[in-house]
Structure 1
Amino acid sequence: MSDWEIYAIKYAERNARTRADSFIFDDNHDAPHPMDYFMWVLRRGPEVVLVDTGYDTKEAEARGRPIRLDPVAALQPLGLQPDDITQVIVTHLHYDHAGGLHLFPNATLHLQSAEMAYATGPCMCHDTLKMPFTAGHICETIKRLYAGKVVFYDGDAQVTDGVVVHCIGGHSRGLQCVRVRTQAGWMVLASDASHYYENVFARKPFPIVVDLQNMLDGFETLHRLASDPGLIIPGHDPLVRSYFPQAMAPHIHRLDTGPIKAVRS
């Protein structure tokens, strides 16, 4: 079968952050450290798979974290409308990855069983662990489940030809990365298994974590799954936009052709 195209869609940013927000162990915690927010589109001919959904204006207002583009508007340069999306890989159920599920009513969700159990279980009695989740997004997932539109995985699984999910955990109990066959080789959408290149390359843990060992082991897994370290795509790093070419609109970058310059590792 043919290879997949991959597009990174930036829909939001948060610049009032420091390195203390990104790394548990760092010598310069007060230095600025901005964050980009992405979702990703996989495309092969008429086939389309959306990886994560971003979050909408209502969630942005509730959390005081504005978005630049509504997820639906962000997809329009690719010629995609909400009803066109029939498959969504949910890397995990945090608000910025699952906050737009309701915008894609025709989609079947692909999710790790461990993530659903985590987001609906006793761990959510702890405010610190509950903070990145929003109840309405979890309820939307449950509604989709009762409509027969959730596919659960327990570990590693093929979603379709050339698209494989791998359970990482760490940041969230059922966090999964997505390995995709492209013209550049096997590319890994790390999502929050590595927020930044520096997390995975320098083995620096991100502060929001449920299992630190799983997070650290996950860095090794990302390296093992990618054909080249430069094909590991972190979930929130603004550097992605400098390593990969812009396509169709300023907020969209094409990944599957490979980086346009060497990725610093």
Structure 2
Amino acid sequence: MNLGFSVPDLLPRARGGGVLKMGLAKLDESEWLQPDPNLQARAEGFADYPEGIQLLPEGEAPGAELATMLGLSGGLPEAAARHHEDMCLLTLREGEEQYRLVGAAVAWPSDWTPAEKLGLPLRALHAPIQGYEEQLATGVDNFMAKLKPGAIYGRCNWFIAATDAKRWVAEPPEVAFAHVTRENAGETLFVRSERQALRRLPETGAILFTIGVYVAPLGALSDSDVAMLARAVGTLVEGEGDRRGAGAYADALIGYAAARDMERST
């Protein structure tokens, strides 16, 4: 399954609201990382956000393995700087059952701070996600335990933001979306999609989690994608919509989708 490398490619394959699901698809090696990354944008991203690089001693060996696997010298920071994707390393400590974040090279985080997450186990990492513990945690733990070297799995998600910035720091929703209306939603709302992939490094056994960030204005998307988002906003898991600030933009998005549908049918 080819997830593609853009919001229009990813959005039809993302969860459209409702119960949380991993939604994994097996990827070929050629589908793992975006070809021809914009290295200047990556360099600028890390220069603007140097605290996006965080590494525990446990992450040094996996980072070196990753760099070698990609034909580079150095470690995790060098690997992420030469690719479009942000990269995180997770390892399993002796006697524990949950993988922990031991390294992050993240230029474009989606409203999270690597320094605050470093060293945390998976369930604590995902604690802000409403429904994760009840609906996903056990399945994710089992998947991580069984993941074999060589296999690559991908998934994608979406968020609605009031900015097209690659590094997204969410403001209070009532502030961020205060200027958004049904009439201007096509230009003032942006769809942010993360193309995520997981694979196990064969020598150290660490798991690499890559995050490719793509952003597009709502108005640039197809009618079917806009309609899906309008439906999904109303079916987010209870509490998840609050975390995403949906209450501040839902009416504008739904109204914009309805107007596009009416325009298409006339």
TM-score calculated relative to the size of structure 1: 0.30
Structure number, greater radius of gyration: 2
More helix by share: 2
The structure with the largest strand share of the pair is 1
**Structure having greater relative contact order (Cα 8 Å, sep ≥ 6):** 2
TM-score after normalising by structure 2: 0.30
